[in-house]
Structure 1
Amino acid sequence: MALAGAGAGVGAFLRSTAPIGRDVSRNQIAQRILSDRGSPQFGPAEADLVVAVFSDYQCPACRFAEPALLEAIASDARVRIIYRDWPVFGARSEQAARVALAAHYQGKYEAVHHLLMVEPSHLGDGVVREIAERAGADWARLEQDMSAHESAISAAINQSGWDAFSLSLPGTPGYLIGPLLVVGAQTLSGFRGAFGKARDITRGEDG
């Protein structure tokens, strides 16, 4: 897809030159994404901030930002994360996304996701299987789930693409941080600043 170049380059550029995010609190699609309960997600049910992450396992900017995002979430303790697989870097990215989503049926999405994000190799079939098994997934069951739930997995990937386009995301990574849409990779301080800004927007709405 044409977005592959955007995912690699736009994130690094915007990380240092753009203000943090834009307010999409009145966007109905953004509101629907934040209330999604079907996608893989982790964090406290009583979280006061939801972060939806649009990413690709072969996206360099996504990989760069992942540790900072996880550290920001861990140190905050009031954030729930929703993973939206948006494979814009081609067939290998889509296959990796399908494996991760199939792993969700056995409760292994998060472990598979994190290992895929740090794996330095090209994500060929053998590599993806090795990562899934290293993450604790039963590969035979994963293959069965990938086949049995093929339509649901395809629908999830397609929905992420439509939602990303509807939010005018130019590529990966993209972060819907509550009412704040952030484009491109961020540092730890960038994510923390975005969390604070998102909460400020929400408090303004509630007030």
Structure 2
Amino acid sequence: MLTTAVLLVAAPQFMSGRIVRQGMLHDPQILVDAADALRDRQYAPTLASSRGMLETPFGSSWKGAEKPEVILVEFYDYACPYCKASNPHVDQLLRENPKLRVVYRELPILGPDSVVAARLSLAASKAGRFQQFHDALYAAGRPAPETNAAAARIANIPPTPSQDVAIEAELKKNFSLASQLGATGTPLFVVGDRVLSGAVGYDALKKAVEAAQKKA
């Protein structure tokens, strides 16, 4: 009788643990989804308080819808290979979704050439020619004096960045926002209530955009 009673009490907990373990072994995506949910909860207060700053572009540092239903924010570095690999995925989403806007936030963490590229990009943005510089530099290759200057010529801006208080303030703000969102590198994407770190790929970005758009 005692043995039976103990088993009746203990079995559900024991079996529940075994079922969860087997489920995780069968579908590791469960762990990924759980980690994503934890991240979302962790950064929810930051997103709530910083939404305006995150989604308001500097100058013309955006592509897509004039009146968007959903906004995807990307923190990036022109020298980051993962950002470059993600760029076609972002462009594909923009082609497919006329209600999407992408706001680009400079986060130059990979050396002096990245910082110069970011300052030139923001100068082009102030002049209303962000897209020309952005696309030209990605097409030219990794930031360097030659590629930075080539992209600057295409965007019709000076090849050497000037000291600009607004640009320096924007970079400082981006570093602060990225730090609050737990950035350990680039790219970092924010859409709706989701924070996605790294080159997560087209499918993950599309799923996050669609989820955010449904809530809009």
Question: Would you say same fold, with TM above 0.5?
Answer: yes
TM-score bin (small chain): 0.7 to 0.9
Which digits, 9 at most, give the CA deviation of each residue in 1:78-108, with x for residues without a partner? 1111110000101110000111111123221
Percent same amino acid among aligned pairs?
23
Partner of 2:175: 161
Alignment partner for residue 82 of structure 2, among 22, 42, 61? 61
1:179 equivalent in alignment to 2:196: no
Residues 1:84 and 2:102 are matched in the alignment: no
Structure 1 residue ranges without an equivalent (≥5): 1-16
Runs (5+) with no aligned partner, structure 2: 1-30
TM-score by length of 2: 0.74
* Contact in 2 for aligned 1:34/1:50 (Cα 8 Å): no
1:73 match: 94
- Give the aligned residue type for 1:172: T
Q: Matched residues in 1 for 2:213 and 2:149: separation? A: 39
Question: Which structure has more RCO (C-alpha within 8 Å, separation ≥ 6)?
Answer: 1
TM-score computed with the length of structure 1 as normaliser? 0.76
2:165 matched to 1:151? yes
Q: 2:57–2:104: 8 Å Cα contact kept in structure 1?
A: no
Correspondence for 2:210:
196
Q: Is residue 117 from structure 1 mapped to residue 171 from structure 2 by the alignment?
A: no
CA contact (8 A) 1:54 1:174 kept: yes
Structure richer in helix, relative to its length: 2
Corresponding residue for 1:137?
A: 155
- Give the root-mean-square deviation of aligned CA atoms: 2.3
Matched positions, count: 179
Give the structure with higher Rg (CA): 2
TM-aligned CA deviation for residue 187 of structure 1: 2.2
Moved over 3 A (4+): 17-22
2: CA distance, partners of 1:45 / 1:34: 17
Residue 51 of structure 1 pairs with residue 72 of structure 2? yes
